């Protein structure tokens, strides 16, 4: 094969699999709705089972369901024969995947599953198979041809199965009103999860780390506070702790060159009034957007009464790994 042949074959695979997914769209009808209703009514877990390539796709479907609000796990049929069927209860529901519908290990556990009392949803390309006869609902994953040139290797069929599993998961997600915040609870270790649950109050400098001076403080003392806290700025507050302004080390450097009396002036005289701020309960990603849009490095953090409770720096957000 030359380079043109390789590219042509690769594109053919894409075309064949795309056509198979388009054919799947025409099969999503009443049995699909029945399957969704059955899963929604399940009081236990959705247990996915399948051998070989079907099993690998099944593991992915189980993972997607679990992460989007539908408790699910994968059961290997061969392991099920040797004791793992003990994880199945009568309150569970089984989605069994087999393109032929005649896989030996899978067929062996079907009578036991029925004896346990679980409902079975079949994903198969053979609507008259043994699996289909055992199932309460049958979802058709049949394809006209595999992308393999010999029509042997599971390619189009596994793609269709994966897409069908995704369709089930996303429909359930919407029906359960599953929100990004819920998704984040199951993904606390990833950047996406952290970005959805990390709030400004989790990252801000507060207490003794929070640089704050009063309106009457002279600039020299404000400069000492900036240096001591190391954030490059200080919030200026009134006697009630309400944010009135901000002074940055950059402000001081620029103004001290043109004003000999600058260091002796009061903070109220030199501060930037009505500074940009963020509420403590906002997401850290919102603070990041403000910082990036305004091309600044830090923000005073306030409570609902505009009382200064902290300061958040760009480095704090980047260090948290939420982007």
Give the annotated binding-site residues for Zn(2+).
Answer: 76
For 220, the token pair is 């020299």
Instruction: Encode 101-122: b = buried (16+ Cβ within 10 Å), e = exposed.
Output: bebebbbebbeebeebebbbbb
**Would you list which residues are annotated within the binding site?**
76
d(CA 120, CA 95): 6
Residue 27, SS3 per DSSP: coil
Q: Is-contact 227 312, C-beta < 8 A?
A: no
d(CA 137, CA 132): 8
Q: Is-contact 263 257, C-beta < 8 A?
A: no
Residues 6+ apart with CB under 8 A from 112: 80, 85
Q: Please name the residue that has the structure tokens 């919030």.
A: 235
For 136, the token pair is 């309460």
In 186-311, where does DSSP find H-type helix? 191-197, 200-203, 219-229, 249-256, 267-270, 284-294
Q: Is-contact 226 234, C-beta < 8 A?
A: yes
Backbone angles phi, psi at 98, to 5 degrees: -160, 120
Residue 244, SS3 per DSSP: strand
d(CA 192, CA 190): 5
d(CA 165, CA 108): 24
For 34, the token pair is 């029945």
């Amino acid at each position: 094969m030359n380079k043109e042949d390789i590219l042509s074959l690769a594109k053919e695979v894409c075309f064949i699999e795309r056509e198979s997914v388009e054919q799947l769209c025409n099969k999503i009808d009443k049995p699909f709705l029945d399957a969704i209703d059955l899963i929604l009514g399940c009081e236990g877990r959705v247990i996915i089972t399948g051998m070989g390539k079907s099993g690998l796709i099944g593991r992915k479907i189980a993972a997607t369901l679990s992460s989007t609000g539908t408790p699910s796990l994968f059961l290997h049929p061969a392991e099920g024969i040797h004791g793992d069927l003990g994880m199945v209860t009568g309150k569970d529901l089984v989605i069994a995947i087999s393109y032929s519908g005649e896989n030996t290990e899978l067929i062996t556990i079907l009578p036991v599953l029925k004896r346990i009392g679980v409902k079975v949803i079949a994903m198969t390309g053979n609507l008259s198979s043994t699996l289909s006869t055992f199932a309460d609902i049958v979802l058709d994953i049949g394809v006209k041809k595999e992308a393999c040139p010999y029509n042997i290797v599971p390619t189009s069929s596994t793609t269709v199965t994966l897409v069908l599993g995704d369709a089930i998961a996303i429909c359930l997600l919407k029906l359960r009103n599953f929100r990004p915040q819920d998704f984040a609870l199951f993904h606390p270790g990833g950047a996406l999860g952290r970005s959805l649950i990390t709030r400004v109050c989790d990252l801000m400098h507060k207490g003794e780390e929070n640089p704050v001076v009063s309106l009457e403080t002279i600039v020299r003392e404000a400069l000492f506070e900036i240096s001591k806290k190391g954030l490059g700025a200080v919030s200026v507050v009134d006697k009630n702790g309400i944010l009135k302004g901000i002074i940055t080390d950059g402000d001081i450097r620029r103004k001290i060159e043109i004003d000999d009396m600058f260091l002796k002036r009061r903070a109220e005289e030199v501060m930037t009034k009505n500074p940009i701020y963020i509420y403590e309960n906002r997401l850290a990603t919102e603070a990041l957007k403000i910082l990036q849009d305004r091309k600044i490095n830090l923000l005073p953090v306030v409570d609902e009464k505009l009382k200064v409770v902290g300061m958040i720096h760009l480095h704090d957000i980047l260090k948290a790994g939420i982007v």
